[in-house]
């Protein structure tokens, strides 16, 4: 995912506008924690998100019908907001002992749980924080000042045994989406992501994939 701006909007006269159900996020710019006001980005980004109720394969069958027996067992499974399913690989998240600290706050869409992966500097950086957020929930990750890139993994039905690669276990069994924002700098401030579903999405996208996230 990326914010729509003059450098990356990428949608001119020749851009085909598709009517789709899209994931978009609104980003609150990095602001001083002591301030009572926030600036909201004027741009939105999106990545295609198919309506789960109409997700079908080429033969017209529901994707759910093609799930393995194990995945079916976890269709209704979910974790608590703030859970760290990959703690054995990435370690514990940093918890700031002070009342005001830099960080990244994420609000999940009402229709989908998400896992947030935060890496230092860029996609090749070390994972410094991660966490599960239930649909509609909000969680703040405490971080030291620095440059971070945030990745979003959407889906439904949490299978703790799913192999995500690189020794990471645990993933969604249905409606998976991978996306990301550009690296952002924290300097005594908090960035907020508010994720939501929007119809008629025609913003430029910044998708990701399992290999980048994990």
Q: For residue 29, what pLDDT is reported?
A: 58
Residue 31 has what pLDDT? 55
User: So what's the pLDDT on residue 57?
Assistant: 41
- Paired tokens of 80: 């608590």
pLDDT band for position 211 (cuts 50, 70, 90): confident
Nearest in space to 2 (alpha carbons), one of 209, 213, 203: 203
pLDDT above 50 for 66: yes
Strands 127-133 and 113-120: antiparallel
Tell me the average pLDDT of the chain. 75
* pLDDT at 198 exceeding the cut of 90: no
Average pLDDT over residues 41-51: 33
Burial 143-179 (b: 16+ CB within 10 A, else e): beeeebbbbbbbbbbbbeebebeeebebbbbbbebbb
pTM for this predicted structure? 0.73
102-158 pLDDT, tens digit per residue, is: 999 999 999 999 999 999 998 889 999 999 999 999 999 999 999 999 999 999 999
Cβ neighbours of 117 (radius 10 Å):
25
Cα 56 from Cα 65, distance rounded (Å): 9
């Amino acid at each position: 995912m990326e914010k729509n701006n003059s450098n990356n909007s990428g949608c001119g006269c020749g851009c085909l506008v598709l009517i789709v159900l899209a994931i978009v996020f609104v980003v609150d710019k990095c602001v001083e924690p002591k301030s009572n006001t926030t600036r909201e980005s004027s741009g939105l980004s999106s990545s295609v998100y198919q309506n789960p109720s109409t997700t079908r394969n080429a033969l017209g069958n529901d994707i759910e019908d093609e799930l393995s027996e194990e995945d079916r067992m976890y269709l209704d499974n979910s974790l608590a907001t703030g859970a760290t399913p990959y703690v054995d690989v990435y370690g514990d998240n940093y918890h700031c002992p002070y009342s005001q600290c830099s960080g990244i706050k994420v609000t999940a869409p009402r229709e989908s749980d998400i896992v947030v992966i935060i890496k230092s500097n860029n996609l090749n950086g070390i994972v410094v924080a991660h966490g599960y957020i239930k649909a509609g929930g909000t969680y703040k990750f405490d971080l030291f000042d620095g440059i971070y890139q945030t990745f979003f993994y959407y889906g439904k039905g949490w299978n703790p045994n799913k192999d995500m690669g690189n020794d990471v276990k645990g993933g969604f069994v249905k409606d998976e989406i991978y996306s990301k924002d550009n690296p952002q700098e924290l300097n005594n401030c908090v960035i907020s992501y508010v994720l939501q579903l929007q119809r008629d999405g025609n913003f430029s996208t910044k998708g990701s994939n399992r290999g980048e996230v994990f």
